Chains A and B, each alone.
Chain A
Amino acid sequence: MSPSVLQRIASGDSAAVRDCIEQYGALVWSLARRLSRSPSDAEDATQEIFLDIWRSAGRFDAAQGSDKVFIAMIARRRLIDRLRKTSAEPPMDPVETLEAVAWADPGTASETSFEAEQATRALAELRPEQRQVLELGLLHGLTQSEIATRLQMPLGTVKSFMRRGLIRVREYMNVDAQRVLSEG
């Protein structure tokens, strides 16, 4: 198996940085735009995320998942940290614009990544209002309290939906990972 772009960066591959920006720039930019308070904030966040990627490439473990999910994890950590520090500022998107993103149907996400396919399969089992909570929290960066306000839903319900959704996706990923390991 050829090394991933992160493994190549860690080993000093001279083309890996360019390849990483090419392959994952859109992913990082997409996450940054959604989870930032302003366009300029998204640009700053993107640069910080790539700096985190350069610093963290050596810690990537292919046995724990794809490089794409590793990069998404790094990006989300940075973006959540930035959001938390600027939580007093209003979100970039107005209230009425935060309800449209629908989830990919199971079977169509495998081109994105193995993990995305697992996630969409797990999400397909959730009720629409549960998916909406995950969408607002994980794709738009709203806090659980903000979601409760937006959806006029008790905070406890929001927490419960978020909890069940993440646990369900986690179960799918771990089961599949164990199956892969056992078959390997």
Chain B
Amino acid sequence: MSEVRTLNLNMGPQHPSTHGVLRVALELDGETVVKAKPVIGYLHTGVEKTMESKLYHKALPLTDRMDYLAPMSNNLGYCLAVEKLMGIEVPEKVKWVRACLAELTRVNSHLVWVGTHGLDLGAMSMFLYAFRDRETILDIYEACGGQRMMTSYFRIGGLAKDIPKDFDKRVRHIIKEVRKGLIDYEKLLTENEIFIKRTKGVAVISAEDAINYSLSGPMLRGSGIKHDLRKANPYSGYENFDFEIPIGKNGDAYDRYKLRLEEIRQSFRICEQILDGMPEGPFRAHVPGVVLPPKEDVLHKIESMIFHFKIITEGFKAPVGSVYQAIESPKGEIGFYITGDGTNTPRRVRVRPPAFVNLASLPKLVEGGLFADVVCAIGSIDIILGEVDR
């Protein structure tokens, strides 16, 4: 009997299809993956530690830089958590604008995902189409927050400034453009023989395992579990909107792809409802000493200026206690666990990272499969290393 030897192969940290700096240590028997061990931490930034050393308002820009494809979702989660901790109720308009932008963020993230996943599997043109359409969304980010990616547009208790006058027109333009684009994507990928061969039956995870691995987002829904925090525990006005939760059947990469495209359509449904019924009102709650006063007032009213100065220099004191606020980000459940200890900096800010938890299931997805499918599995989890490592 000859000895069976396996091959150890190191994939990453610099690899074109690991979506950043993920490293996977693989053990191969021929073409079959015997063992896979993801090694992470190559982008560990110390975000949590840095947030704990900052005032509540000043920790906000750091949240953008975790999941950099969904900055608005992260902002939303953090703002909601601090608002919960401080017991602030935001105006109705703020909720709706936030929900609208969070949905556009979902589209943004899924577009990049479709593009890069296509690129991984050899469909180069998909990348070009997806990035073309994504630019329209970045334009509205820029119009609102003044930045293309790291908007930090939401503030604790409201928005940084009022929405631009042509907000409605811009969002409708995005919806029109991306809907047109979706037809192209469907033509390019959904019926594509090669794409189906590469994704159907690949990286399968059953519903039971999905729960056992604490998966969330499209990974969980792809396995047929109808769970979406927007419906389950509505936040930021989601109880007012009518939308479907798409679910998959087989829990493979193809189902997750179909599901994400369907989520884009549902996001547009929500956006249209928001635009049709956008309430009027202030763009920031009036809570002196906690919420920053609007810039207009700071320039013209003495007490607003004093509050502004006090909040920026000293911050506000949070009560002793812990809150957890989870929202449905494009990747899954992103939760902010914030512990206040009576001082002006948080005792603990914990980010429950969806991609980190989802990535832990990678060995389960690839072991026993073919080596070439590892790329597809990593892609279908939709990881963002900035958020995995924080």
A in complex with B:
no
Residue ranges of B at the interface with A (Cβ–Cβ < 8 Å)? none
